Amino acid sequence: MAAAQPHPDFDDPDTADEGLFDTLGRPMRDLRISVTDRCNFRCQYCMPKEIFGPDFAFLPRSAVLTFEEIARLARLSTALGVRKFRLTGGEPTLRAQLPSLVRMLRETPGVEIAMTTNGTMLKALAAPLREAGLDRVTVSLDSVDDAVFRSMNDMDFPVALVLDGVEAAAAAGLPVKVNAVVRRGVNDHTLLDLAERFRGTPHTMRFIEFMDVGTTNGWRMDEVLPTVDLVRRIDARWPLEPVAPRYAGEVARRFRYRDGAGEVGFITSVTQPFCGTCTRLRLSAEGKIYTCLFATEGVDLREAMREGASDAVLTSMLEGTWRARADRYSELRSQSTPGLRKVEMSYIGG
């Protein structure tokens, strides 16, 4: 079989030298590592309480990858082109001794280490994580209106403590991005407040269209607020101008405030899909790799590792999975796709 040619957006000398592309010419650049399937929030768009209640059977500890197993797979992925590790969950800060994992990942040279978190544990963990080698953090925060935020996390958790976590991360020297999932009729009336809260700060605010991840979040197209409408709302209050992408495969569409008060970003998976430049491979907490956030099944690397597979065998599994990749769910989304059985976002990270 002839090797896939790079997508035009990735046709550069660095990528060409590596020569690992999927069927649509996309290189592997990012490994998203879910360290746990557990979370202390029950957000409706991710882990609704009706499904993930007190009796829900989360993964037993023996099924979850050890730090050594995670670090091994992460190291092998870099030989195939991965340049960035992102720790996710569930909620990654619920994993005990998380700085130890960061320290192990830091031993792999030339790779950025980031984390996405709900921020609830950052006040205590930001400094140890930074010291261990974490490069940056993204905090999920869907509203600065306390009542709306408590309702959305469905655990009555106050917004002030997440804001404390943001500041603790900044004080520890971690660059911070803030992500909000936008759901029409739920929190869209508070989004200008979010934008205002982070204007003029070093933190970048990003808004994410409500996506049909998994099968339990009650997604409906009429609850999606298109980015074009949100940009119009913000621009009417604080004029914006577009900013060119920093690199091929950048997820967010970036704008800067014309008055110099920083940037704001928009992640448009529903209305303006970016499948064509997606470079992300996902590793679940129990050691399966997935090639799309909307995947239906994964490839089990944990079983292979625990049966004694060599680095060469594991690398071959990673490479073969990526070369066969043809996912472009968001580009193909239609009235028929919401009924497809998909892995839950809490299982493989956002």
Q: CA angle at residue 76 from 308 to 213, to 5 degrees?
A: 100
pLDDT digit string, tens, across residues 263-303: 999 998 877 776 888 999 999 999 999 998 877 889 999 99
In a domain, 22, yes or no: no
Contacts of 43 (CB under 8 A, 6+ apart): 142, 152, 153, 154, 181
Closest CA to 43 of 124, 123, 162: 162
In a domain, 274, yes or no: yes
Closest CA to 350 of 210, 219, 159, 201: 210
d(CA 262, CA 198): 9
d(CA 243, CA 343): 34
Pair of tokens at residue 170: 């900044």
d(CA 279, CA 36): 22
In a domain, 43, yes or no: yes
Q: Are the C-beta atoms of 293 and 283 separated by less than 8 Å?
A: no
Single pTM value for the model: 0.89
Strands 280-283 and 84-88: unpaired
For the chain, what is the domain count?
1
In a domain, 259, yes or no: yes
Per the structure, the complete domain to which residue 94 belongs is given by 32-348
In a domain, 18, yes or no: no
β-bridge mates for residue 56, sequence order:
none
In a domain, 17, yes or no: no
In a domain, 10, yes or no: no
Least confident of 24-33, 136-145, 286-295, 335-344: 335-344
Q: Are the C-beta atoms of 299 and 289 separated by less than 8 Å?
A: yes
CA 120 vs. chain centroid, Å, equals 17
Longest dimension (CA), the chain: 59
Q: What is the mean pLDDT of residues 171-194?
A: 95
The CATH number linked to 126 is: 3.20.20.70
Q: What is the mean pLDDT of residues 109-118?
A: 97
Burial readout 240-264 (b: 16 or more C-beta within 10 A, e: otherwise):
beeeeeeebbebbbbbebeeeebbb
Provide the pLDDT for residue 4.
Answer: 61
Provide the pLDDT for residue 297.
Answer: 85
In a domain, 15, yes or no: no
Burial readout 170-184 (b: 16 or more C-beta within 10 A, e: otherwise):
bebebebbbbbbbbb
Torsion angle, CA of 287/292/298/302, rounded to 10 degrees?
Answer: -10
- 211 band by pLDDT with thresholds 50, 70 and 90: confident
Q: CA angle at residue 50 from 44 to 56, to 5 degrees?
A: 110
Q: What is the mean pLDDT of residues 120-143?
A: 98
